[in-house]
Chain A
């Protein structure tokens, strides 16, 4: 594209949790890239390491986690950056929203105070009054009616969807370049989910946000992401443009995920689901980590770790990527 470094570039990120000197990796060498104004979807089951990886990228990993690899924001290395400098980026240039908007908001602070805090943390010279005015504008931006009155209310006085709007307002308070949304609609009703996605998509376009959308629901990404990274057992197993991914999934796991999206136009008795569960931390099977659940697994899959196979703008880590017979899925 240009000589500019990408907005956000993750190279071989590894996050390990240790106990008694033994470390198990929850994130095992993830590489990703998001450009200015681009929407990257990260999809995977719970426990696949998608959230932990993104938290670690911002220095928010749980206590005792070991983070290695490289995370660059506008060319600047974040891994190993002093805490003070990371803090200056968090909430200002890089913002984050989480799954459960009720537990993500402080129950004893008014919504206005929480948004104003986000503003003032990065604009210490701003008066409280001005920060609250800004908070009001932000509430209006995420289409919350009566922002004046709402500012003085507490999170428990908001509905789930409204709370997530508050989280979004807080996240974009300082006009960030990158927004990481970790399962932003998972805890919400289906109808509300669509509204929140609309708010997110609208803001993303208007503020030209780089957006990382973490979800376990590939269906959410279909209409919203530019590119998708599929994560399994702490690794990216497939990465492609969203249309390409749906048209030509290279990894059996991706095919399984696509097949398990409910399709309202076809009448089916049962929804497809991938058998089995993802491997537990530190208990990876030999060969391809997905082989015990894979419907097309061969001997080689149980022996050798698959290489990453490439098509133009499309990669998949499967021995039979782009060549295997279409599975039953």
Chain B
């Protein structure tokens, strides 16, 4: 087990280098001219300014040179400077990544909780109203586009009924807590401000639900199918013959056996959530990686684009590793040397 994790960790730097290289190459072959992002239209005709800008941003050097410099800087934690915000990309990302992670994790909790509960209920009460209702719910979740759902729910719950807050991470009038982790829920607690914490949670509900619903659908269908299979196994009969009650039979014996494929799906839906976060963040004015990426792409902000890609890739690698470790822990039949 430890050897397996160690081996995976050793492979990590090489995978990251691969991501860096790919991100760098893909960005450099795009058609857009980054100069348009740096130099204003009026000054484009001024060769001196153009040359100065090129020199300043290193655009006068060859691609391999730029690559070597970039990787060298990356090793010191320098991801270059954003064309648009004129701040170091690393700093921008560090500020925005926690916002996205908070949203994605909340969405994961929502999706997994709803998905697993619905899947279990649907399997246990198969072919009843509960089962059909769960199926319809899952179908809606995976077929309604995130941006439409986000707007619709915002309109109904925030604008019409006013039961949930509008976009943003906190009430617009509130003073944000000092930045420590970047997770609003944690920072408000660290600041000892319970009211602000509840406000942060309040603001998380809608975007987390919008993002989590689709995942809930996928998870519930998978859990239902697996539960049906497991519930027909003989060890379920053994558990009943031991005198175990139905709740124990379903949760302790059946559900635990479906955790292996479920964990895998939860882990891999991280990638989906990161992608979905782009749209959700835009709709909910969430200052995360998604909206940052959209701005960067629109403005041909190359350093930011590469930075976002690398960080996204690394996040994905880490979740995959965690998923695989969880897989081993949940499944004693997998033996790894």
Cβ contact within 8 Å between A154 and B234: no
Output the nearest chain B residue to A117 by Cβ-Cβ distance.
Answer: B242
Which residues of B sit under 8 angstroms from A134, Cβ to Cβ?
Answer: none
Within 8 A of A (CB), among B218-266: 233-235, 237-245, 252-253, 256-257, 259-260
A107-B333 in contact given A60-B237, A98-B238, A100-B234 (Cβ < 8 Å) = yes
Q: How far is the CB of A252 from chain B (nearest CB, A)?
A: 34
Which residues of A sit under 8 angstroms from B256, Cβ to Cβ?
Answer: 106, 108-109
Cβ contact within 8 Å between B235 and A103: yes
How many A residues, CB 8 Å from partner? 29
Cβ contact within 8 Å between B332 and A121: no
- B-contacting 9-mer, from A83-91, A261-269, A294-302: A83-91
Cβ contact within 8 Å between B257 and A121: no
Output the nearest chain A residue to B256 by Cβ-Cβ distance.
Answer: A108
Interface class of chain B by DSSP: helix
Q: Please measure, in the bound complex, the distance between the C-alpha atom of A60 and the C-alpha atom of B239, giving whole angstroms.
A: 11
Cβ contact within 8 Å between A156 and B333: yes
Cβ contact within 8 Å between A107 and B242: no
Which residues of B sit under 8 angstroms from A90, Cβ to Cβ?
Answer: 240-243
Within 8 A of A (CB), among B99-118: none
Q: How far is the CB of A103 from chain B (nearest CB, A)?
A: 4
- Interface check A212, CB cutoff 8 A: no
Q: How far is the CB of A16 from chain B (nearest CB, A)?
A: 20
Q: Please measure, in the bound complex, the distance between the C-alpha atom of A88 and the C-alpha atom of B240, giving whole angstroms.
A: 11
Cβ contact within 8 Å between B242 and A104: no
Output the nearest chain A residue to B257 by Cβ-Cβ distance.
Answer: A108
Q: Please measure, in the bound complex, the distance between the C-alpha atom of A95 and the C-alpha atom of B244, giving whole angstroms.
A: 12
Which residues of A sit under 8 angstroms from B260, Cβ to Cβ?
Answer: 108
Output the nearest chain B residue to A110 by Cβ-Cβ distance.
Answer: B332
Q: How far is the CB of B86 from chain A (nearest CB, A)?
A: 54
Binding site for B on A (CB under 8 A): 55, 58, 60, 87-92, 95-96, 98, 100, 103-110, 117-118, 121-122, 154, 156, 167, 170
Other A-B pairs, 12, CB within 8 Å; known A96-B238, A105-B238, A110-B332: A90-B243, A91-B241, A104-B234, A106-B238, A106-B253, A106-B256, A117-B242, A117-B252, A118-B243, A154-B333, A156-B333, A167-B238
